[in-house]
Amino acid sequence: MNDPSPPAPPRNDAAPGPADPSAAALADVWREARNASASSDFARLEQIAARALEWAERLHGDASVEVERALQELAYAQRRQSRYAQAIPVLRRLVALQEQLHGLSHAGLGLSLDLLAAAISRAHPERMSEVKKLETRAAHVRLRRRR
């Protein structure tokens, strides 16, 4: 038997899709990220940060502070879930971007190098020589900042 009532209109209570990112939509995504982080919902934060990364790339290109922020949030969410192997390529990209955007003496670069070293040591304890090199690079960044 057919139901004579028309179908309900689709709900539009989700954030705009990646086909239509805008600066306002990205700001909404960052609000969602703050809420997820505050409630320690790191799986949700990871999804939100991945969406923010995609939108930031579309809005601002691959080399922007907005992309930097999204990479930081994505790596943070992955590390908080003990997903160190997944965080490694994100942190590598973050380090490269920070070098490009800010140079070799930026405080954020030293921290990102330390976080990358920690992620590698947890995911791949057999790669301690790489960890030591990253820790040395991070120490050099800190020394450059003091000069």
Nearest to 64 by CA among 53, 77, 74, 75: 53
Percent of the chain with pLDDT over 70: 86
CA atoms within 13 A on the CB side of 65: 2
Angle at 117 between CA 107 and CA 68, to 5 degrees: 45
Q: Are 108 and 80 in contact (CB under 8 A)?
A: no
Nearest to 117 by CA among 106, 129, 108: 129
Q: Are 73 and 33 in contact (CB under 8 A)?
A: yes
Q: Which tens digit of pLDDT belongs to each residue from 5-64? A: 444 433 333 444 556 688 899 999 999 999 999 999 999 999 999 999 999 999 999 999
pLDDT of residue 17: 53
DSSP 98-119: HHHHH-TT-HHHHHHHHHHHHH
Distance CA 57, CA 64 (A): 8
Query: Exposed/middle/buried for 51, CB within 10 Å: 0-12, 13-18, 19+?
Result: buried
In the numeric block, the tokens 């930097």 are attached to: 68
- Each domain of the chain, given as residue ranges in start order, spans 22-81, 83-147
Predicted confidence (pLDDT) at residue 82 exceeds the cutoff of 90: yes
Q: Are 63 and 96 in contact (CB under 8 A)?
A: no
